[in-house]
Structure 1
């Protein structure tokens, strides 16, 4: 099943600016003449989901623009300015658009929630829509607070005539509201299991639980450092595991082939952003997953990819022999030829493309030169297992059998081994709390590289600056001369980059933000 998202017209989000005719218009949508049926509520809900797939978020840039400035990847063109290399200002269009799209999603959710009680419909169905809208609004705020810190927290629709006076809300309060709304959503969606849904593009009970585990881990780390949240993260992760609805796909590679072929593996993939079509058909809900980030290919029929992102030597070296993830995530080949392209081996470990999303597996034809139907996972079951292991280690002052089991399931899958049989690839026994955490930090990179979590992980662990400094030193001492510039993101990194700046445009129109920019900006 594929959700075809409806873009709710702007007329639903703001009042008319003026009277163009003496007669009252009746042929366009407003909040007054919409939201009258259950079907219209569902269309509006699809509009709330829609902004997550925008190119400014999971449709393109969240995977390689906002998160390339880590030790996992670097831009192949090695630019000297931009978000990817930590050289930007509050006037950056990327920063402004990132902020804008999140608030568009929030506004759509606010409008829906303000009108949700209007139609006559079964209350059970209304509760499901309410739960999804509350969760999605909270998720947009989670994106904002983890990137910008204190942000304006709007919980009502914007009045067109109201002045732009929305002060920043402290991060702790924003997080508290996120937890409140997501917890409410989880209680409202008790019967919306992923097994019943049969696909991962819509929020299920266990997807909410998994995201709540992630949110609590972020709260436990920098900057809030509320260590009590480790136990909450552990409890939410355990709910996912104990639901019995999820397990790892035996093949790491197949996980991403499924995303390319629009096949739903609801046991592995808890929540994914859906894309559809080839920009040549009726429904144009494509993204660029596999086009900007993937294996270099100029053959449009096979699936053109600009391969804008390479794996770092650090990522490549994190893998040991026998780990299937290495040659999937760090592609050992490129495609050569504009037609009938063939695989050409790449033996230089410093210049391997990120190969996680591969267009050769797409089944929808004809393929578009830029746009793709590949889905993007927000959270997978392997992430839940690694979060459980991390939280279990912290709560108990060291790794328990439960923590080792969760970690080793991920590792055994990576080596093509049975998930429930001890193997030589298992994590070393006898590690202390600090050693186990370090192992988890590396394992998350091996498993989840370039899935838009590394930067946030490094920040919450409080090691972003030190890790990138060490990475830059290694590059400058060991890289071939032509690749020294791949250290530029690490060299440019300053403490101010722990948060993005509040967009200059927003500061200029929202008078309550003036004088309240993030430190260093």
Structure 2
């Protein structure tokens, strides 16, 4: 299996012996490469940023490419019984900090002035990409683990001087917001010839999501609802992105870089993601690793809509899912027909996993506008209704009473938005983050899985700190042990 490009640093040792004894030892050795001077070109810096994403997305690696198991306790995936072990989710901790090591190396080089002779706007563009990625990594980590070791370009080498304290959640968010704000101000509208790189719209979308998350648990700083609304509105108004009109086209290869998908994990034919077989049933020669909880899909399927066939495998070659060996639907988003049959048979999927897309932004706006206003505004209704119309393959901008929401209270509308996020963003690793920020574990398990309820406590809204790091830090999240 072909591996992704990995950017490694080599430090060449110097042996000053015998023949060098009469050399001028004050002469700077031109061939010496150290951690202080390694990054000297934009290409080297961007290679390090590519390596940071590689840490999260390499095929069969413990990040997100084969990462559904890290989100097994949402209500979409099978067998998440809410008995969370004390070593759960540690691979995400490790991979995000590996990514941050690469990102901080680039930011450190910029701060030290390594990029001599390069135009300032190019350096600023590199810094914006790095700060965008740092914000993204910390946004994932702080939601999953709470208080964090906060490592930046100014932090002494944590290997030599281990960090022995965790930074409070609110302070981590200060860095996240600052980094995303810089990215919003500095990133270009697009990167011609490099569509996988983060651009301004992705920074706006993720910053809106950060504000929305800060308005909910655990911070509950409700003043951020207005900030989330306004940032999402700014993105909606600038016209850079839009919904794909046909719901069956959202995940087609020709649409993987827009106009709906604003940024995500990137796969190519020579750099594929983990085999699509993990998402498919035995009847498709699949492995069914990422199995859907049938209680979740049964609830959604009570009201039929075209989006269900677009996002779920409900039949294969005329056989309905009720006659599959597993007797449940599977995930279609990242498999055929959204990759070629040849790719599927060869185990080389070029499907991308979205991290932020325009449907998400519309739903962020709808939720934030309703909460900031105290009731759903006409604009909030229109935002969610555009997503609902597209789900039924109706004209997106034309009101349709058959699917449009109306006449809801603040709480009813909020529930409707969260449910719309549940199905629209399904299996994109987004559901767990909604569950924890809205504190939904008891609510979503009461009817389908009452046997899970004794296993649920407030401690379950954070994953455990990996044992080794918890011992160094001298603290563990409540409800877990570090033994």
**TM value normalised by structure 1:** 0.81
The 3 A distance-change label for structure 1 pair 177 and 265 is: closer
Which stretch of structure 1 is more off in the superposition, 261-270 or 453-462?
261-270
Matches within 5 A, 1:310-459: 310-319=292-301, 321-334=303-316, 342-347=317-322, 351-363=328-340, 365=342, 367=344, 370-459=347-436
* 8 Å contact kept, 1:35–1:118: yes
The 3 A distance-change label for structure 1 pair 294 and 135 is: same
User: What is the CA-CA distance between 1:468 and the residue it aligns to?
Assistant: 2.0
* 8 Å contact kept, 1:73–1:309: yes
The 3 A distance-change label for structure 1 pair 367 and 30 is: farther
Distance 2:395 2:282 in 1: 33
The 3 A distance-change label for structure 1 pair 204 and 5 is: farther
Matched residue, 1:518: 477
Matched residue, 1:103: 97
User: What is the CA-CA distance between 1:130 and the residue it aligns to?
Assistant: 0.2
Which of 35, 57, 71 does residue 39 from structure 2 map onto? 35
- Counterpart of 2:449 in 1: which secondary structure? helix
- Counterpart of 2:330 in 1: which secondary structure? coil
User: What is the CA-CA distance between 1:295 and the residue it aligns to?
Assistant: 4.5
* 8 Å contact kept, 1:333–1:344: yes
* 8 Å contact kept, 2:77–2:290: no
User: What is the CA-CA distance between 1:364 and the residue it aligns to?
Assistant: 8.1
Matches within 5 A, 1:37-436: 37-54=41-58, 55-61=61-67, 64-74=68-78, 78=79, 84-92=80-88, 95-116=89-110, 117-119=113-115, 120-156=117-153, 159=157, 162-189=160-187, 192-194=188-190, 197=192, 200-256=195-251, 258=252, 261=253, 263-277=255-269, 283=270, 285-288=271-274, 290-297=276-283, 299=285, 304-319=286-301, 321-334=303-316, 342-347=317-322, 351-363=328-340, 365=342, 367=344, 370-436=347-413
* 8 Å contact kept, 1:145–1:151: yes
User: What is the CA-CA distance between 1:366 and the residue it aligns to?
Assistant: 5.5
* 8 Å contact kept, 1:412–1:425: no
Cα deviations by residue, 1:398-426 (Å, 9 ceiling, x for unpaired) = 11110111011101111111111111333
Distance 2:96 2:32 in 1: 26
* 8 Å contact kept, 1:200–1:264: no
* 8 Å contact kept, 1:290–1:305: no
Cα deviations by residue, 1:287-337 (Å, 9 ceiling, x for unpaired) = 2263322454554xxxx5535312433333235545111223332224xxx
The 3 A distance-change label for structure 1 pair 307 and 518 is: closer
Distance 1:237 1:160 in 2: 37
* 8 Å contact kept, 2:335–2:344: no
Distance 1:38 1:202 in 2: 14
Matched residue, 2:466: 503
The 3 A distance-change label for structure 1 pair 102 and 332 is: same
Unpaired segments ≥5 residues, structure 2: 21-27
* 8 Å contact kept, 1:294–1:356: no
Distance 1:40 1:245 in 2: 29
* 8 Å contact kept, 2:277–2:344: no
Distance 1:332 1:507 in 2: 44
User: What is the CA-CA distance between 1:269 and the residue it aligns to?
Assistant: 0.7
The 3 A distance-change label for structure 1 pair 316 and 383 is: farther
* 8 Å contact kept, 1:53–1:273: yes
* 8 Å contact kept, 1:91–1:505: no
Unpaired segments ≥5 residues, structure 1: 79-83, 278-282, 335-341, 474-486
* 8 Å contact kept, 1:128–1:188: yes
Distance 2:98 2:466 in 1: 15
* 8 Å contact kept, 2:338–2:351: no
